[in-house]
Amino acid sequence: MAETTWRRCSIAGLALCAALAGCAAIERHEADQKEQMLAAAGFQMRTADTPAKLADLERLQQHKLVRHERDGEASYVYADAADCKCLYTGNQASYDEFQKLQVQENVASQEMMAAEMNQQAAMNWEMWGPW
């Protein structure tokens, strides 16, 4: 009885670890995509190349585009202390371009999903026999 319980707990633990690893991989992929769009929109990447810069970077909100006022003008900052150990900075024009790129990506994603759904709907499942 105790061995069966131990096996179940072990299997549940392994499944939880796999699920968490999958979530981490998805989050990293999303962060990579966001960083690519930031660069394409004109944001400048600045590397935390000293321990002091890295410590400062770690204090910022991570993986989120945050608006700041600098010299009376809007500036935007995106921090990634865990992976690239870098900071993306941009102005209002860069932010506006980033917003356009996000809309384009969302539209493309929706179009892809619609195309996949249409393909599924067009499939003649009856031809493959009973399940």
For 13-37, what is each residue's pLDDT tens digit?
A: 555 545 555 555 566 667 789 999 9
Give me the chain's average pLDDT, please.
83
Span between the terminal Cα atoms of the chain, in Å: 37
Coil, helix or strand at residue 83: coil
H helix runs in 41-61, sequence order? 51-59
Q: What percent of the chain has pLDDT over 90?
A: 53
Q: Model-level pTM?
A: 0.64
Q: Would you say 2 and 42 are in contact if contact means Cβ atoms under 8 Å apart?
A: no
pLDDT per residue as tens digits for the range 96-106: 999 999 999 98
